[in-house]
Amino acid sequence: MRIVHLAHRFFGAITAVPPDPDDLSWVDQVLDNADLLTQFRRMPYHDQAHAIGVARAVQADLADTQWADDPRWLAAALLHDLGKLDSRLGVYGRVVATVSSGVAGHDMADAWSDRSGFTRRVGLYLRHPELGADRIRLAGGPEEAAVWAAAHQDPERSTTTGFPAPVVTALLAADDD
């Protein structure tokens, strides 16, 4: 199933168009932080569209709950991949990073990010959860968004965030990667 998901993300990335202006206006309202908005807008269109899709799915999943439209959870969904900015990798570089991680193991990320050139960028891409959390905190974003950015790729860690179980379930289901 993961290969299907990755193929869908790949083809979505190479055919990406700018997000709908209404969606970007909604993002502006949810984030309400100039620095975070600037960083969000620096993300490639496919990352922006993915983040908006994740946030809209979380919004729908939580609609009839006490957590409906809580900006903390929507911000967590919108910003979970913000750390990918640090790698400056394009679509094909990300494919190489994903394959490299699968072959050599994700544990290589720290060593690779201590290198230079493309190897460093692959390492930074693989470390995007922690780097995204740092970006969110430095910008004064919601702590919940930083915690989720750091935890979203680690199933074990994502269940120890202290977030309400329905919120974690919604965030995990919406991102599905």
Mean pLDDT across 116-139? 96
Q: Which two tokens stand for residue 102?
A: 């699968």
Max alpha carbon distance in the chain (Å)?
49
pLDDT in tens, 9-19: 676 766 778 99
- Portion of the chain with pLDDT greater than 70, in percent: 91
Q: Which residue has the higher pLDDT, 148 or 3?
A: 148
pLDDT category at 103 given cuts 50, 70, 90 is confident
Residue 166 has pLDDT above 70, yes or no: yes
pLDDT of residue 124: 95
Distances (CA, A) of 9 to 15, 20, 149: 10, 18, 19
pLDDT of residue 64: 95
Residue 176 has pLDDT above 80, yes or no: no
List CB contacts of 90: < 8 A, sequence separation 6 or more.
44
Residue 4 has pLDDT above 70, yes or no: no
Q: Which residue has the higher pLDDT, 69 or 31?
A: 31
pLDDT of residue 165: 95
- Hey, what's the torsion of the CAs at 130, 133, 139, 143, to 10 degrees? -160
Please name the residue that has the structure tokens 């379930």.
169
Q: Which residue from 2, 45, 6, 3 is spatially nearest to 24, judged by alpha carbons?
A: 45
Mean pLDDT across 60-79? 96
pLDDT of residue 177: 54
Please name the residue that has the structure tokens 């974690």.
168
Helices (H), 80-153: 91-104, 109-113, 117-126, 128-138, 143-151
This prediction's pTM: 0.90
